[in-house]
Amino acid sequence: MSGMNNPLTPNSLYHNHYPDDEIDLFELVEKLFSHKWLILASTLTALFAAALIAFMLPKSFTSVAIINESPEASFAAWNSSTPFIPNQVKGSDKGSQQTDNYLTPDKAYQLYLKYLTSPATSRYAFKQSLLAMPDPETGQPQDKKSLAANYQAFLSNLSISSDKSTKRTQIHYTSDNPEETARVINTIILPYAREQFNQTMQADFSAQVRVQHQKLKTQIEHLESNFVSSNSLRLTELDEALTQARAAGLTELRATEVNATILNGATYLLGEKLLKSRIDVIRNRTEKYRFYSNPKLEEDASKPYIKGVSGRVFELKQLNSLKLDFSAMTPATIEQPALVPVSPTKPNKKLIIALGGILGLMAGVFLALIRIAINNRKERQKIAGHNYPSMTDETIREYNDSDLRPEPAHPDAR
C-alpha cells in the first residue's frame, strides 16, 4: 500500500500526455485566426509603407517612336541620275557600276540606321536635351563632371532596337519630363540622323559628279590634242614632200611610173600640185571643227566637234543639269512618332502596393506562427511542471518488481 502514498505512480509516469508535435491544419488555421488582428495590422502597415514609397519615388516617363524602310519611290531622283555618274570601280563594267550606285530602300535604311545609332548622334542629342542645360537655379553651365554623369544617364535612358524580320526600329527615351521624351526623339534624334544621311548622299553625289566631269574633260582634251597633233605631224610631212617635189621638178603625179608601195616611202612623188591640195585640206580641217577645250568666237557654235567629242560633251551637259533635291529624300518612314506619355512608366504604383501587401501578409503570418510556437512552448513547460513537482521534503523511494504488480482486491489474496 506504500505505492499508493507516492505521488509519482507508474501509471502517472507512462500515461501522461504532452502536446502533440504533429501539424493539424485545422488547428493551425484556428490559431492563426485567433491572431487575425496581428496579421491584419502587419498587412495594413506594409500596404501603407508601400503606398508611401510608391508616391515618393521620382516619376519617369518613356516615349517610343517606330520607323521602317521607305518606299523605292523616295529615291527615284537619285536612281535616275545613276547612268550619268557611274561608280569609279576598277575592273567593273558599266552595268555593275550602275548597280553599285543604285540606291535600294534597304541600302538607304541601313545607312540611315548607321547614323541613327552613331555616337555623334547621341552626343548631339544630349547637348540639345535638358540634361545638358545650365543649372536652372544659378544659370551657370554645368561642370565637366556633372556633364559626364548626365551624359551616361542620357545613354542609359536612350534605347534603339531593330527587328530584322519586320525591319522595324524602335527608339525609346526615358525622362522625368514627359514633353522632353517626345521632343528628344521627334525634333532632335530623327531629324539629325536624316540630315547626316542627306549630307552624306549629297557629298557622295557631288564627288561622283566632279570625278565624272573631270574624266570626260580629260577624254575630250585627249581626243582634241591627238587630232591637232596628228594634223600638225601630217602637215609637216606634206611640207617636206612639197619641198622635195619642187626640187625634183615634179608638178603632177605620174600614175604609170609610181605605185602605192613607192608612194608610202616617197610622198614627194605625188607632185607639187597634189601636195599643195592636200596641205590646203589639212590646214582647213582644223577650221571646220570647234574645240571644247579651246572655245573661240560665238560663230564656232555652228561648227561640229571632232569624232568622239560630241558624245562626251553631251554627257557633260547632262551632268551640269543634274539638280537633286536631297531634302526630299526620306531614308526611313516614321510609322509612329514619339507621343507625349500620359502616365509614368516608373514607378509602377500598383505593383509596388501589391508586393507590399503580399510581404505584409507574409510577415503577419510569420509573426503569428512565432507567437503560436511560443505559446505551445509555454504550455509544454506548464504541463511538465505539473507532472514533476518539487520533492525537497519527500524521500524518493526506489521501486521493485513487487511494486509494479497490481494490488489484490481482497486482503486474503496475499
Give the pLDDT means over successive 10-residue stretches in the chain (414 positions): 46 48 69 80 81 75 93 83 60 48 88 94 93 79 88 94 91 92 95 93 88 91 90 87 82 65 66 84 83 69 83 88 82 92 76 82 84 82 67 48 53 49
Read off the pTM.
0.64
CB atoms within 10 A of CB 190: 22
Domain boundaries defined on the chain? 2-13+23-54+349-413, 58-204+330-336, 217-326
Question: Which SS3 state, helix, strand or coil, does residue 67 take?
Answer: strand
Grid-cell match 502587419, residue found: 42
Predicted pLDDT of residue 6: 47
Which residues are CB-contacts of 367 (< 8 A; sequence separation ≥ 6)?
35, 38, 39, 42
Which residues are CB-contacts of 363 (< 8 A; sequence separation ≥ 6)?
42, 46
Tens of pLDDT along 99-110? 567 888 899 999
- Contact status, residue 67 vs residue 163, Cβ threshold 8 Å: no
Question: Which SS3 state, helix, strand or coil, does residue 217 take?
Answer: helix
Predicted pLDDT of residue 156: 93
Grid-cell match 603632177, residue found: 252
Predicted pLDDT of residue 5: 47
Predicted pLDDT of residue 261: 53
CATH 3.30.1890.10 matches 58-204+330-336: yes
d(CA 129, CA 123): 10
d(CA 299, CA 307): 20
Predicted pLDDT of residue 401: 52
